[in-house]
Structure 1
Amino acid sequence: MKKHNFSAGPAILPASVLEQAADAVRDFDNSGLSILEISHRSAGFTKVMEEAEALVRELLNVGDDYGVIFITGGASSEFFLSAMNLLNEDEKAGYVDTGAWSAKAIKEANLFGKVEVLASSKDQNYNYIPKGYDIPAGLKYVHLTSNNTIFGTQLKEWPETDAPLVADMSSDIFSRRLPLEKFGIIYAGAQKNMGPAGVTLVIVKKDLLGKVNRELPSMLDYRTHIAKGSTFNTPPVYPIYVSMLTMRWVKEQGGLVAMEQRNAAKAKLLYDEIERNPKFECTIPNPEDRSLMNVTFKPVNEDDAAAFMEAAAAKGVDGIKGHRSVGGFRASIYNAMPIESVQVLVDVMKNF
């Protein structure tokens, strides 16, 4: 029976990418060597790294004034690295609190400078995106979490500010076009929409760097990794390779315009069924705030939860149990999720 992987992360990858990645474990590029054992400074992997960076730049329209690096530590490390590299102790950054990950980012940033929480949706267990909040002048940057995997909300519009935006895009990178000129830093753990766990993409405007008073350890200085082409130390070779294959797949599908259209169609199919079906309700009241990546919903009658999970499992639907902070169900429908699999889940809901 075919499995339909709705896991929030590590998450689904395109079938063709999995096939190529598996082949490369046995024999990378007809070299007679596995991708797992080649040197990170070999000609073969240098080509991979160059293509990965080129694809990031092409898909997101990233200019030469930005560095593109592949490092480790996940978004959790970027919570402190972004503040460490940009914020002095006597300077202030603005943060918008829309979920568990933004709350963690606020905690880490407080170690390096002053943090002003511009808005928060914690009062409603993060079931909406704050709007209409004031952003004071003079902030070093404004930090946002673009998509909230746990709670199922997503920013659809970017705030107007004279400060550069710093954004955690771990769960919706490459899912839509971006006004890149608004951003000072974009960071994304790969394991939700770009590749396997183990590598983090960072896009950083170079002229923002080198302006903090503190001494930065070499490994924690973005400039180190930009200067060394992400090979200051041994990078996570295999996750970068699979991420490169995934970005190549995105380009082959038609790029971010095509991803936007596909993702909107998948989300509409599922949200329409949630609205239509008297057995379920969406956990996000305002349709404008609903994520196109992580659809969160719950049974009207809690007694139906176990039976629905069993019915879904019987049709090969996997990974839809909601996060403990929200309960209910969560269907993650990242770029690689085909609409046919979403239809299987919708059919289970209809039959239920």
Structure 2
Amino acid sequence: MTSEPTVRPGRPFFSSGPTSKFPDWSLDKLSTESLGRSHRSALGKSRLKYAIDLSRELLGIPDDYLIGIVPGSDTGAVELAMWNMLGARPVTVAAWESFGNVWIQDAVKQLKPANLTVLEADYGEIPDLASIDKGDDIVFTWNGTTSGAKIPNTDWIADDREGITINDATSAIFAQEMDWSKLDATTYSWQKVMGSEAAHGMLILSPRAVERIESYDPPWPLPKIFRVKKGDKINGAIFEGATINTPSMLATEDYIAALEWAKSIGGRSELVARADRASKVVLDWIEATPWLRNMVSDPAKRTNTGVCMVFQGEWYDGLSDEDKAAVPKKIVKMLEDRDIGYDFNGYRDAPPSLRIWCGSTVEANDVAALLPWIEWAYEQVKTELS
């Protein structure tokens, strides 16, 4: 392709986090009555509780699971779960990309629980999860945000498990169905699939997780923002609209607006379908493009959110490592400068790659409009580096 394409994406937002706002989002869609009010006021707590209740409804979370809004985005929620629950049993931490490796480092260098097993795999692969003992506590990432590799199923989690599962679901939840019967602590952040503002995390606890927290006191100190017990019992107020520290009510209203939009279009099933439609456009294009391959070799493990692709072919393979790393950066800059597509470079710690976010707030036709531009930019870069 030598000439510039003529069709431009209507919404050029392809970042994997914070992700695109929902279609037709605008500030005037946000309720503002809670702004300038205390989050502890009846109004403030009611809006926080409404965000929790809408989340439960849309995600189909069982009634006996607790849902809380916690500090520190998904990172804070995962670490809160790890700091409160690990150390009671043997632990396996499984990771296959950058963020999962953060949880490994937390376990290895910070918490240092006895009987720790680490399972790792390269980008695009998943370790042998079936090898995990059912007596272990398990920390894992449902969907590899920086590799595009997701777990294909939850068959590897035993129904009669003795340990608890801690599931970082931030780049999957709302776009992929969760198997709640296998999940004890599940976390996510507002700025991923729902495209809302950042800073706050969601913590979802099963009755088994609550029992662990109430029956176990870890040997390490807990920072205030990780403390979810009051005496020997879970602090139920945290899961009814109270928060450990002061939340942003503006961010809360933005999340509520996204949840209300999701409900208006058909709920969780339509959110999943939207991600499936957008990702299929990219997945099919990668298969038809000889100079690209999906970072994930097994189709059953390919995500429908942050689709990651690497370059291949005789021309690319002959480049220096420096030039190989420059190819995706140059493509992205060329298209960002033209306002065609923003923030779709691969993650900084991943192999040189492109990563196109196809989550539930993205339109499939915008993804389709981006791809010919990538082809055009690739040819420009190829000429420049040849």
- What's the TM-score bracket when you normalise by the shorter of the two chains? 0.7 to 0.9
- Cα distance per residue 1:155-183 (max 9 Å; x no partner): 22112221332101111221122121211
Q: Distance in 2 between matches of 1:132 and 1:40?
A: 42
Q: Is the 8 A contact 1:10 1:196 kept in 2?
A: yes
Change (3 A) 1:4 1:217: closer
- Cα distance per residue 1:185-219 (max 9 Å; x no partner): 00112222232111101111223321223475553
**Corresponding residue SS for 1:288:** helix
Count of residues in correspondence between the two structures:
338
Match of 1:320 among 338, 341, 344: 344
Change (3 A) 1:104 1:305: closer
**Corresponding residue SS for 2:66:** strand
Gaps of 5+ in 2: 1-7, 317-322, 380-386
- Select between 258-267 and 104-113 the one with higher mean Cα deviation: 104-113
Q: Distance in 2 between matches of 1:273 and 1:340?
A: 13
**Corresponding residue SS for 2:76:** helix
Q: Which residue of 2 aligns with 1:221?
A: 227
What fraction of aligned residue pairs are identical, expressed as a percent? 21
Change (3 A) 1:306 1:220: closer
**Corresponding residue SS for 1:153:** coil
Match of 2:151 among 151, 155, 174: 155
Q: Distance in 2 between matches of 1:305 and 1:39?
A: 46
- Cα distance per residue 1:106-125 (max 9 Å; x no partner): 2223415235336321xxx3
Q: Distance in 1 between matches of 2:181 and 2:172?
A: 18
Gaps of 5+ in 1: 30-34
Match of 1:130 among 119, 127, 149: 127
Residue identity in the other structure for 1:309: V
- Select between 79-88 and 208-217 the one with higher mean Cα deviation: 208-217
Q: Is the 8 A contact 2:13 2:20 kept in 1?
A: yes
CA RMSD in angstroms comes to: 2.5
Q: Which residue of 1 aligns with 2:4?
A: none
Q: Distance in 2 between matches of 1:241 and 1:100?
A: 30
Counterpart check, 1:309 vs 2:332:
yes
Q: Distance in 2 between matches of 1:231 and 1:310?
A: 40
Q: Is the 8 A contact 1:109 1:115 kept in 2?
A: no
Change (3 A) 1:283 1:176: closer
Q: Which residue of 2 aligns with 1:249?
A: 261
Match of 1:330 among 334, 351, 355: 355
Match of 2:298 among 286, 310, 322: 286
Q: Which residue of 1 aligns with 2:197?
A: 196
Residue identity in the other structure for 2:134: A
Q: Which residue of 1 aligns with 2:320?
A: none
Change (3 A) 1:211 1:16: farther
**Corresponding residue SS for 1:231:** coil
Q: Which residue of 1 aligns with 2:56?
A: 57
**Corresponding residue SS for 2:250:** helix
* Alignment map for 1:85-104 (pairs within 5 Å): 85-88=84-87, 91-104=89-102
Q: How does the TM-score come out when normalised to structure 2?
A: 0.79
Q: Distance in 1 between matches of 2:182 and 2:67?
A: 16
Match of 1:209 among 175, 195, 213: 213
Residue identity in the other structure for 2:204: I
Change (3 A) 1:98 1:226: farther
Q: Which residue of 2 aligns with 1:32?
A: none
* Alignment map for 1:21-32 (pairs within 5 Å): 24=31, 28-29=32-33
Q: Is the 8 A contact 2:293 2:309 kept in 1?
A: yes
Q: Distance in 2 between matches of 1:78 and 1:44?
A: 25
Could you tell me how far 1:133 is from its partner in structure 2?
3.2
Residue identity in the other structure for 1:127: G
Q: Distance in 1 between matches of 2:301 and 2:63?
A: 33
Q: Is the 8 A contact 1:85 1:210 kept in 2?
A: no
Q: Is the 8 A contact 1:52 1:240 kept in 2?
A: yes
Q: Distance in 2 between matches of 1:115 and 1:190?
A: 34
**Corresponding residue SS for 2:184:** strand
Counterpart check, 1:144 vs 2:120:
no
Residue identity in the other structure for 2:106: E
- Select between 72-81 and 214-223 the one with higher mean Cα deviation: 214-223
**Corresponding residue SS for 1:186:** strand
Match of 1:343 among 368, 372, 376: 368
Q: Distance in 2 between matches of 1:66 and 1:112?
A: 28
Could you tell me how far 1:128 is from its partner in structure 2?
1.1
Residue identity in the other structure for 1:204: L
Residue identity in the other structure for 2:203: V
Change (3 A) 1:70 1:115: farther
**Corresponding residue SS for 1:331:** strand
Q: Which residue of 2 aligns with 1:268?
A: 280
**Corresponding residue SS for 1:47:** helix
